[in-house]
Structure 1
Amino acid sequence: GLLKEPQAGYDLKKEFSLSLQHFWHAELSQIYPALQRLERDGFVKSRQGETRTGPPRKEYRRTAKGRKELLRWIGSDPATGKERIAYLAQVYFLDEHRDNEKSLQYFMKLRNYMAHWLDTLVDIEKEWRLKDSRYPDKLPPDDFYAQLTLALGLKKVRANLEWCDECVARIGARED
């Protein structure tokens, strides 16, 4: 899990990319200020870590106060804040083209993106299944709950692909 062991911001970025990418995107430019805020609030503590090459790097680890805050947060009601999905905002305004061909091109590009994303998630699932015979329901707790997020990611991307196909068919059937 994040910050159970000392990690530098770059390590966190890699972990985000490998395990959280299907539902939470974070750039290094976001991670470092967040780590500074967490340290200021006493939720993480930093120290200079050793490296084989290059200068020392700052490593962060969750504190007892940070764990307590994490437990409070996951024990609260589900965090169902409003999502911003930029491509849906674009779809909302596609009528401004007044050109079905451009709309079809848009959806084909979106579909290609979703297909690539699905391939990535399927590869993650296949690799996990091959590496661990306990996959999915006998995994240890940290992996089990991570797998639940992957399962939803797969369902959402598959649904998005189906929706793209439906949109292409509906736009293609229009006469204007």
Structure 2
Amino acid sequence: MAKHPRWWALAAVPVAGLIFFSAQQTGALWSDTRNLSGGTVTTGTLAIGVGADGKTSSAFTLDNFGKTKMLEGGYSQTPLTVKNTGNVPMKYRLAGVAQTNAALPLTLNVWRVASAAACGATGTPAGTQLYSGNMIGASIATWQTLQPNNSEVLCLRGTVTAGAGPGIKSKVTFTFDANQV
């Protein structure tokens, strides 16, 4: 019987040693200090402008986007100029579209085109299609990049789809996100 307590005591010595050495290994703290000479921090300006004049605004009305007495399959198409009016490169995207009256079924197509003239009132524009789908909730996942003082033109087309009844009106709101590159 006397042998058992010795075995326990001998077995406890390595366990206690492991605990002690493990605590010593993880107990190290590192620190360092360094003095730096003064410097200047400069920030840039990020601003997105819309419309032909590229003015920065929180609200912009597309006067030519919309028609009255449209039938199913009818559409309205207009250019929207997006300009980087800041002094740093930016990326932007269409983040969402909302309608005041969801009873008017609309689809949206968005193309990046070479100029406002390339987005006529009729016909399919020659350009890169960025979105095609429902108007409500429309968004473009891919960020578009613009250098300072540069612009590009988006061609927006809203089409009335099946199920539109007579006399239904809706106002559409486009929301864009912009970030510094």
Q: TM-score, normalised by structure 2?
A: 0.20
Q: TM-score, normalised by structure 1?
A: 0.21
The higher radius of gyration belongs to 2
Structure with greater helix share of residues: 1
- Of the two structures, which has the highest relative contact order with CA contacts closer than 8 Å and spacing of 6 or more? 2
Structure with greater strand share of residues: 2
